[in-house]
Amino acid sequence: MAGSSSHQIRNIYVFGGSSPGKEKEFLESANHLGQVLAERKIHLVYGGGKLGLMGGVSIAACLGGSQVLGVIPNALAKGDIIEKTIGEELQVSTMSDRMNAMFNHTDAFIALPGGLGTLEKIFHISSWAKLHIHHKPIGLLNVNGFYDNLLSFLDQAVEQKFLTSSARQIIIFAANAEQLIGQLQSFIPVINPSVSLINWSTMESRKKLRLDLSLRL
């Protein structure tokens, strides 16, 4: 939910399609997001490579002066499947390590349009927020109404009592980068008193990776 306080955001983890998509607005929006991140002196963390929307946002952010960290599993790096990473590259062993590394080096999340991998990350990060494993804001860049059906599904889940209205507020959305980042900065999490009593301090996925990084975001 939005509020009057401001959430300090220095690094944003952006994920989305490795394809540019069908409509030109998708890539244009990715490029614009990278430009806005640079203008606001926000650093980019992403999944590495330079394909599709991920390539667009990383190139634009890097050209604008943002520090860029691409996190990529060894198997993808060796296969050169997603092409050369823009900015600094951190290679990890597994997809889980990749998720943990990106999670631990970011203050907020933005999902561009994408496919199965993008949806996986949206629900993974959102379910962790629902369980109070983290309180980092999560935003969907709803280019050309791409996420309208997903948002309608979440509203239906609330209506059918599978999702609480407070949990529904975890996911923020906007049609342009400026508005979305503003909403992320003013986000105030809704605390569920019963869930907040859960102690996640020993959960394996919360342990910070000991990474030898040349880039300090």
Percent of the chain with pLDDT over 90: 50
| Mean pLDDT computed over 2-25 | 80
pLDDT surpasses 60 at 160: yes
Strand partners, 78: none
Residues 131, 190: contact at Cβ < 8 Å? no
- Does 37 fall in a domain? yes
The pLDDT value recorded for residue 200 is 63
- Does 203 fall in a domain? no
The pLDDT value recorded for residue 29 is 95
| Mean pLDDT computed over 187-215 | 58
- Does 201 fall in a domain? no
Percent of the chain with pLDDT over 70: 82
The pLDDT value recorded for residue 83 is 67
- Does 122 fall in a domain? yes
Top-confidence residue, 18 or 32? 32
Q: How far apart are CA 101 and CA 157, in angstroms?
A: 31
- Does 3 fall in a domain? no
pTM: 0.84
147-161, 166-180, 188-202: range with lowest mean pLDDT = 188-202
The CATH number linked to 62 is: 3.40.50.450
The pLDDT value recorded for residue 205 is 43
| Mean pLDDT computed over 136-145 | 95
| Average pLDDT over the chain, rounded to an integer | 83
- Does 209 fall in a domain? no
- Does 46 fall in a domain? yes
Report how many domains make up the chain: 1
- Does 1 fall in a domain? no
Question: What is the identity of the amino acid at 99?
Answer: M
Q: DSSP letter string over 106-159?
A: -SEEEEPS-SHHHHHHHHHHHHHHHTTS----EEEE-GGGTTHHHHHHHHHHHH
| Mean pLDDT computed over 68-79 | 77
Residues 173, 151: contact at Cβ < 8 Å? yes
CA atoms within 13 A on the CB side of 213: 20
Strand partners, 12: 44, 108
Residues 2, 188: contact at Cβ < 8 Å? yes
In terms of residue numbers, what domain contains 44? 11-196
